[in-house]
Chains A and B, each alone.
Chain A
Amino acid sequence: MDLQEKLKILGDGAKYDVSCSSSGAKSSFSSNKDGIGSAHISGICHSWTSDGRCVSLLKILMSNCCTYDCAYCINRISNDVPRATFTPEEIANITIEFYRRNYIEGLFLSSAVVKNPDYTMELMIKTLKLLRFSYRFYGYIHVKIIPGASSQLVHSIGTLADRTSVNIELPTEKSLKMFAPEKTKEAILNPMGFISSHSANSLIERKKSSLAPRFVPAGQTTQMIIGADKENDLQIMRLSQGLYDKYKLKRVYFSAYVPLGNHPNLPAPTTAVPLLREHRLYQADWLLRFYGFRAEELLNERMPNFSNTLDPKCTYALSHIDSYPVDVNRADYYMLLRVPGIGVVSAKRIVAARKHTRLTFDNLKKIGVVLKRAKYFITAADFNENLTYLSKEQKYLEPLLRDKTPAFTASANQVSLFDFVR
């Protein structure tokens, strides 16, 4: 089998992994004069495929000869797909040649389970050592850790990679048992905890001395498949919140289930990919990470799923109508962020600009606030005729806040706007 064919098979097997970012590692193996590569703090996207997702890293599998039989996965042993395995030399060579031509920002190495988790991880470590020490490659490397690998091997990977991830796979333990019988909750969470504590230690050590060894400097991420089982959005948000709190993850990725499996409990092969739901979850994820929201504030047992027509922040605002209106000239930064139509950029601009003058609606518009939504929830220096909606019943305000972009009304395929990148 020639290299090009292998690359096609093993790239194809890796594409369902959504994570692609190359961010978070500042000048990783810094002051490079003799090798190749650098890392850019905010990550760089190199291309976008026709499904609109960015290509930042060379995302490939070490091998797709899997011994496991996870129902949702294209590489499961019972599936009839062409199989291939790379040698470490082949991966290192392609990575370097692609990197020199500026096709990619680094390597995203994942793998099916060949023989057993330890054997697979050893192959991956060999590849990374080759890249780092023989080719003197200083670019970005993201490695997927195989659940069940020994902690010694997880440690070696941590010293070589910029970012690691262990996939949660499915949002509930019940679905995991049903669809991925060989994987256990412990096998997934143990390496995550191991990396989290070692990475925190390494940060403390590196503050004392820059010579202290690096350990996963760009942090770790995870991903879960949504829509494969009957879990609700509240369960997913609680799990994400827990992962951010406990393991200090950089990102939790959601992957809308693409019907590839054949398990009787999985959605039928003709089911549409739940892209709108994925989009809502990412919007909510942003609220957790940058807006100071908690999962319990966004959803509760009475309302366990996000709305199709409203974005999560509007949903929040409508159910907490008593905390509005917000005075843009006085409210603190985090309160500003809770107003629909005010994002991180405009909230920062408001805080900076109001030191000099009392802001009017005209000022807010020029600052970049989306008044279409914000005007029902704020007071500024001049009169606001729209405030009366706050005291009326919800049914009057709700239709005014709906997503009216054709992307959400036409077909689910048109959903735009996710930024997997930064």
Chain B
Amino acid sequence: MIYIYNGSFEGLLTAIFDAYNDGEALIFKEGELLPPLLEYKKVETDMRKSLRLQSGINKKLSKIILRDIYIIYLSDYTDHGTIALKYLRFCFLKGKGARSLHFDPAVKNALTLRRKVMHEADKMLGLVRFDKTQDGVYISEIQPDHNILSLIAGHFAGRMPTHSFVIRDTRRELAICSYNGNWVLIHLPSQVKFDISKDEFRSMWKEYWNSMAIRERLNPRQQKAYMPKRYWKNLTEMQ
């Protein structure tokens, strides 16, 4: 049986709750391409079920495992629902220490996916580039693989507590807006455009960046390994 949830974190928890005892269960997000020839049903998001599962995880397992589930949820990976379900089942079976049984496929798949998401979030702390608009707002556009906006927002709000800035994920049409150190996550359709003034510091940065490479040790392969090409589109120095 395939369980389809509406895309919210509470929805995912409800689906895990419903599917828990169904050994054949797969969980998918609404709108994903489903495997053929299987029965499916839509899961009605239920706050009580979601809260019950959350408090169960916190009491019987640990907060870290709930955090794992949340980060897996942000991955937007097709199998994330099923991976989360199998991981939770295994954890409830083995108890608190399950997280260190890294050789079990259920744990390995879950923690590998978690690491991928966290890795991209950490990378984005460095790779976000802002442009200043005429009104003094700093604008940035990114297209990350995973839905990491909520993981990086706190860092930038703490870094620029007296500035207003927007980081938008154009792929998911989401954005974080921060003003005076407080941030919110909003839906921002791609029709909304910002007027990015001619920023003299863009060319200054490009020039500086170019002069930093040592010609005698050129190594573009390593550059690409650290800074994958799919991110170059939004990097000032690569435009």
Residues of B within 8 A of A35 (CB): 161-162
Judging by beta carbons under 8 Å apart, are A52 and B100 in contact? no
CB proximity to A under 8 Å, residues B201-225: 201, 203-205, 207-209, 211-223, 225
Q: How far is the CB of A297 from chain B (nearest CB, A)?
A: 30
Residues on A lying within 8 angstroms of B by beta carbon are 3-4, 7-8, 11-12, 15-16, 32-38, 40, 44-56, 58-59, 94, 97-98, 100-103, 105, 139, 256, 258-259, 273, 275, 349, 352-353, 355-357, 359, 362-364, 366-368, 413-417
A415–B216 Cα distance when bound, in Å, is 13
Minimum distance in angstroms from A1 CB to a CB of chain B = 14
Residues of B within 8 A of A (CB): 94, 97, 100-105, 108, 122, 125-132, 138, 140, 155-156, 158-163, 181, 199, 201, 203-205, 207-209, 211-223, 225-227, 235-237
Q: In the complex, A356→B101 CA distance in Å?
A: 8
Q: Chain B's nearest CB lies how many Å from the CB of A101? A: 5
Cβ–Cβ contact B127 & A8, under 8 A: no
- Check A353/B102 contact, CB under 8 A, given A48-B227, A52-B226: yes
In whole angstroms, how far apart are the Cα atoms of A147 and B195 in the complex? 49
Question: Complex Cα distance A146/B223, Å?
Answer: 32
- Whole-angstrom CA separation of A18 from B100 in the bound complex: 37
Chain A residues contacting B237 (CB-CB under 8 Å) are 47
Q: How far is the CB of A346 from chain B (nearest CB, A)?
A: 9
Most chain B CB inside 10 Å of its own CB: which residue of A55, A102, A359: A102
Given contacts A36-B163, A94-B204, A101-B236, are A49 and B216 in contact (CB under 8 A)?
Answer: no
Contact between B221 and A52 (Cβ–Cβ < 8 Å)?
yes
Would you call A366 and B103 a contact (CB within 8 A)?
Answer: yes
Quick check: A47 and B159 within 8 Å, CB to CB? no
| B226 in contact with A48 (CB, 8 Å) | yes
Task: For residue A380, give the distance in angstroms from its CB to the closest CB of chain B.
Answer: 12
Residues of A within 8 A of B122 (CB): 44
* Most A C-beta atoms less than 10 A away, residue of B161, B211, B212: B212
Contact B208 A7 (CB under 8 A): yes
Bound complex: CA A8 to CA B213 (Å) = 12
A44 touches B209 (CB 8 A): no
Whether B205 lies near A37 (C-beta < 8 A) is no
